[in-house]
């Protein structure tokens, strides 16, 4: 009991800072602009503090503990030059006190409203949930599928449609180094851990080519990369599919082929999202010798009640080859939003069940998280 009291006191004394990771801070209210408005520089931050209780079932006993975490502590700089001809974004931080560089890229307009080119270190255009800013998630963190499949950041060259508002079709294609975040599926990501996919390892310059392709459709002015519906508009939807290919050029047999589909619907404060993933690994000496590596999906729903409350729930299911055959996780969350103070307080409980040969194991995780973002 004494440990719990001290952990709670530590959490309440932790002071958060500002902002959503991944957002181009040229749109931030903390912004400098040239006299003619053609050039801007925005500053943003995001700080999340989290108190978590975890009870993990091990073969011979159950181990329980409290942790005080700092899952995201980010500072971002970004803006535009020449009325959007060139955009730039740099995001760094100390997630769980570990230094990292999350994003560092330049985005250049090639054809107005149709084609832009981005080069640097960036998010792979794969899953909708990973492309959603952390501050716009309905629950405290992303689903387990995000830890298993090809989401992540990488060094590369990316072309996209410019993200014009109101357009019903979107597309992105990127060519990547293939090493910044290892795409090989592993069944060991069975317990949720703090995000750590943003660091760049020392072997980043060892080239293993990878291709990521994402296409999508949307109806109406839906914010397809926001898991809530604060606008509470009429029925809107978004649908997308993505493909990730990583070639084996060094003879290690680690090529990967992964695909996913996702959708989102929103209606008067209610929002629902779902995604399904499939991955294959290389079995022999050729890229064409494939084997099943993993399948997974998650479904979730949230409801914005007034402007202050938002309950949410999510179910995730992962299937691996033996011996890690089946993983299920159910989560429920309640968030309190204080928009004027830019605060979001989320309390969440989850049960993770691992079905293994000879039985199953269950893990329990309860957390409360305070977020302050601009």
pLDDT mean by block of 10 residues, the chain; 374 residues: 41 32 52 85 93 89 93 93 90 90 94 92 94 94 90 91 77 85 38 35 60 93 92 94 88 85 97 96 83 94 96 96 82 95 95 81 94 92
What are the chain's domains?
Answer: 2-373 (2.40.160.10)
Cα–Cα distance measured from residue 117 to residue 156, given in angstroms and rounded to the nearest whole number: 11
Kindly give, in sequence order, each residue whose CB lies less than 8 Å from that of residue 12, ignoring residues fewer than 6 positions away.
none
* pLDDT value for 10: 39
Kindly give, in sequence order, each residue whose CB lies less than 8 Å from that of residue 374, ignoring residues fewer than 6 positions away.
18, 19, 28, 29, 30, 44, 45, 342
Cα–Cα distance measured from residue 124 to residue 246, given in angstroms and rounded to the nearest whole number: 12
Residues in the chain: 374
* pLDDT value for 17: 31
3-state secondary structure of 131: helix
Asked if 283 contacts 260 with a C-beta cutoff of 8 angstroms, the reply is no
Q: How many CB atoms lie within 10 A of CB 336?
A: 13
Asked if 263 contacts 241 with a C-beta cutoff of 8 angstroms, the reply is no
Cα–Cα distance measured from residue 239 to residue 13, given in angstroms and rounded to the nearest whole number: 42
Q: What is the pLDDT of residues 263-316, one digit of tens each?
A: 999 999 999 999 999 999 888 778 888 889 999 999 999 999 999 999 999 999
Q: In Å, what is the CA distance from 66 to each residue of 10, 124, 194, 362, 371?
A: 12, 33, 14, 17, 19
Cα–Cα distance measured from residue 202 to residue 149, given in angstroms and rounded to the nearest whole number: 22
pTM: 0.84
* pLDDT value for 355: 81
Pull the structure tokens for residue 343: 């605060």
Q: In Å, what is the CA distance from 245 to each residue of 81, 249, 256, 259, 286?
A: 34, 12, 6, 9, 14
* pLDDT value for 22: 37
Cα–Cα distance measured from residue 130 to residue 149, given in angstroms and rounded to the nearest whole number: 11
Pull the structure tokens for residue 28: 């931030």
């Amino acid at each position: 009991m004494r440990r719990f009291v001290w952990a709670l006191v530590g959490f309440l004394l932790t002071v958060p800072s500002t902002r959503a990771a991944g957002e181009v801070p040229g749109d931030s209210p903390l912004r400098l602009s040239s006299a003619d408005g053609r050039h801007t520089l925005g500053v943003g931050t995001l700080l999340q503090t989290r108190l978590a209780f975890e009870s993990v079932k091990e073969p011979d006993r159950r181990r329980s503990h409290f942790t005080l975490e700092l899952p995201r502590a980010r500072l971002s700089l970004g803006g535009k030059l020449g009325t959007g001809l060139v955009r730039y974004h740099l995001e760094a931080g100390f997630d769980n006190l570990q230094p990292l560089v999350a994003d560092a890229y330049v985005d250049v307009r090639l054809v107005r409203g149709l084609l832009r080119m981005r080069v640097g270190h960036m998010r792979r255009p794969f899953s909708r949930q990973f492309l959603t800013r952390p501050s716009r998630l309905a629950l405290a963190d992303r689903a387990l599928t995000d830890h298993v499949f090809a989401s992540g950041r990488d060094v590369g060259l990316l072309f996209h449609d410019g993200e014009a508002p109101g357009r019903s079709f979107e597309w992105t294609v990127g060519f990547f180094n293939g090493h910044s975040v290892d795409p090989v599926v592993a069944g060991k990501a069975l317990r949720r851990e703090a995000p750590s996919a943003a660091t760049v390892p020392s072997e980043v310059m060892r080239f293993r080519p990878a291709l990521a392709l994402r296409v999508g459709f949307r109806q109406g002015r839906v914010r397809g990369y926001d898991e809530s519906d604060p606008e509470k508009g009429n029925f809107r939807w978004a649908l997308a599919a993505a493909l990730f290919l990583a070639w084996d050029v060094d003879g290690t047999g680690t090529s990967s082929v992964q695909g996913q589909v996702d959708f989102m619907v929103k209606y008067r404060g209610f929002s629902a999202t779902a995604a399904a993933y499939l991955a294959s690994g290389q079995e022999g000496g050729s890229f064409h010798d494939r084997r099943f590596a993993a399948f997974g999906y998650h479904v979730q729903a949230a409801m914005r009640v007034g402007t202050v409350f938002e309950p949410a729930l999510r179910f995730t299911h992962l299937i691996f080859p033996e011996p890690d055959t089946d993983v299920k996780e159910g989560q429920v969350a309640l968030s309190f939003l204080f928009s004027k103070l830019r605060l979001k307080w989320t309390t969440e409980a989850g049960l993770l069940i691992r079905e293994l040969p000879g039985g199953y194991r269950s893990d329990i995780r309860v957390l409360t998280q305070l977020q302050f973002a601009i």
